[in-house]
Chain A
């Protein structure tokens, strides 16, 4: 670890801290329906949308209506995306002539669900399969709407605490519209020009054919990159214009864009903690959540940076100098961009997995086992460490309810939070949400680690020698694990064959994939061939479960809280606006996460690390 590296991390966090109060305060005004400085410009547009879609902007919705509206909007959006991807060959802005067959049905399902749920897992290779039209209309639109949906759900949950003796949680359509127009749009407009200034392309030109200095032909992908890039980060979506994501020099060309992109990920999730405090009438409550998130973030980044800076001892044993010198960064540089180095790569990895963004500027599969474990544990914390836009706030509030309940049991205090009595129903809903996420992760991981689809244990690649067997293999169950668009055809057979590494590292690749999908993160650990019907379908299901079956119990909790009366603070009330509660909350997240996932972590990164120490690598 270097002073320079530590300083970069501290400067990043100081900037997040500086932005939290003004942005949070602004968002509180937006979602309280108060006038903002953007009203003269955006007010007429907002009202136009309400008139166009027949929205009664003053109509309050009970939680069930709010939930149905959210579900309906997401499912219809997902289905439209599916159709657009399958029909892209007939649609405009397609200079590379990508066709519907480039997006097979399972891949289109995975992609549509992925973007509708704010996951942005990419089984497809963007620059080789989707047209500009698909990128802009089918995919980038979801970057806006899925992010605004997350914010709307968080705001509904805040109202559950802020209002009392009521039924309504607000209006989903109004919250969505205001989130998009007043929050996402202005921040993106500023950010997109900064990215273009730094060299990120924004055009509709066909890909450029270049000849390299060795004489080889190279096709250079481009397009409307900057506009997708900024919302990808601000909306914690994470789906890159290029397969290499933010490691690609067209997506993230300079150290300044790297800082900008990292800030963009944390900006709204951090601001929403202050919005929460402001809307419930006690900004200290919001800062307490911020403290809990900061504690968890600090543990993650310090561990990840330490592990990556320390590097792999086996490399040193080979006589390679791994120390940091003015001429080399030292540590573990595998899978990292030399223009960023270790600290910004470890920081980006921690931020993106904390915040459920999924953009990457380095390959997590190449991290040391401990560094990789940090990214995995972040995903397992259920979007609580700043989290996705909106998702982070409702995730930490889910744990706050559990923390209040546990504290009540430990010290004999009445479980209360923000003046509301926490009873059986709220605790049930919070626990249900936690368990649903856990069940999705372990069930799908266990299945993929053991499912022995024909033709057997080993991968089967169809070559000239065994080509006559292809119809038999294709007709069997193996087609569920056939790698899409592979030429020659590759049938992986057992779903555990899709990993590039054996042993605990391979297990981690599978576990990470499902944790990433369920947490709606979308980053890939890499090292896994997931573009097969089996993985596309099951990862898609994990994303749906992780998004909607978490939101519904939390909305139900909000629906219960909003109907309650405010109870006065008494001697038996546990103070929840103190740093002590913030630390307790962070502890509950760690303990619940550790208890749930300890066996899986032990089988994956822990065994991987212990093997590395004795010289065995996977």
Chain B
């Protein structure tokens, strides 16, 4: 059970990182367009 929890936390963090990457790129596009 705890194994699943910590593996899930690691994968969720990867998803957060990927989403953060896309967010930064989106911000760049908005700044470039402005």
Contact = CB atoms under 8 A, between A and B. Distances in A.
Interface of A: 63-64, 67-68, 71-72, 75, 78-79, 82, 86, 104-106, 108-109, 112-113, 423-425, 428-429, 537, 540-541, 544, 548-549, 552-553, 555-556, 559-560
Contact of A106 (B2, B25, B27): B2
Q: Is the interface of A mostly helix, strand, loop or mixed?
A: helix
27 contacts: A68-B18, A68-B21, A71-B21, A75-B10, A75-B13, A75-B14, A82-B10, A86-B3, A104-B2, A105-B6, A106-B2, A106-B6, A108-B6, A109-B9, A109-B10, A113-B10, A423-B31, A425-B27, A425-B28, A537-B9, A541-B13, A544-B13, A548-B17, A549-B17, A556-B21, A556-B25, A560-B28
Nearest to B21: A67
What are the 7 closest A-B residue pairs judged by CB atoms, nearest first?
A: A105-B2, A556-B24, A109-B6, A75-B14, A425-B31, A71-B17, A67-B21
Contacts of B7: 79, 82
B25 to A, nearest CB: 5
B5 A105 contact: yes
A549 B20 contact: yes
A395 to B, nearest CB: 18
A425 B27 CA distance: 8
Contact of B24 (A429, A540, A541): A429
Interface of B: 2-3, 5-7, 9-11, 13-14, 17-18, 20-22, 24-25, 27-28, 31-32
A555 B21 CA distance: 9
Contacts, number: 72
Contacts of B5: 105
Contacts of B6: 82, 105-106, 108-109, 537
Contacts of A424: 31
Contacts of B32: 425
A481 to B, nearest CB: 15
Nearest to A105: B2
Nearest to B20: A552
Given A72-B14, A75-B11, A113-B10, A64 B3 contact: no
A267 to B, nearest CB: 30
Nearest to A428: B27
Contacts of B24: 429, 552-553, 556
B14 A552 contact: no
A109 B10 CA distance: 8
Contacts of A429: 24
A537 B2 CA distance: 11
B21 A64 contact: yes
B1 to A, nearest CB: 9
Residue of A72, A75, A428 with most chain B CB atoms under a 10 A cut-off: A75
B9 to A, nearest CB: 7
A106 B1 CA distance: 11
Contacts of A106: 2, 6
A64 B21 CA distance: 7
Given A82-B7, A86-B3, A109-B6, A559 B14 contact: no
A335 B16 CA distance: 41
Given A82-B10, A552-B17, A105 B3 contact: yes
B21 A552 contact: yes
A70 to B, nearest CB: 9
Contacts of B20: 549, 552
A401 B10 CA distance: 31
Contacts of A79: 7, 10-11
A109 B24 CA distance: 28
Contacts of B9: 109, 537, 540-541
Scoring A71, A79, A112 by chain B CB atoms within 10 A of each residue's CB, the highest score goes to: A71
A482 B25 CA distance: 42
B17 to A, nearest CB: 5
A548 to B, nearest CB: 5
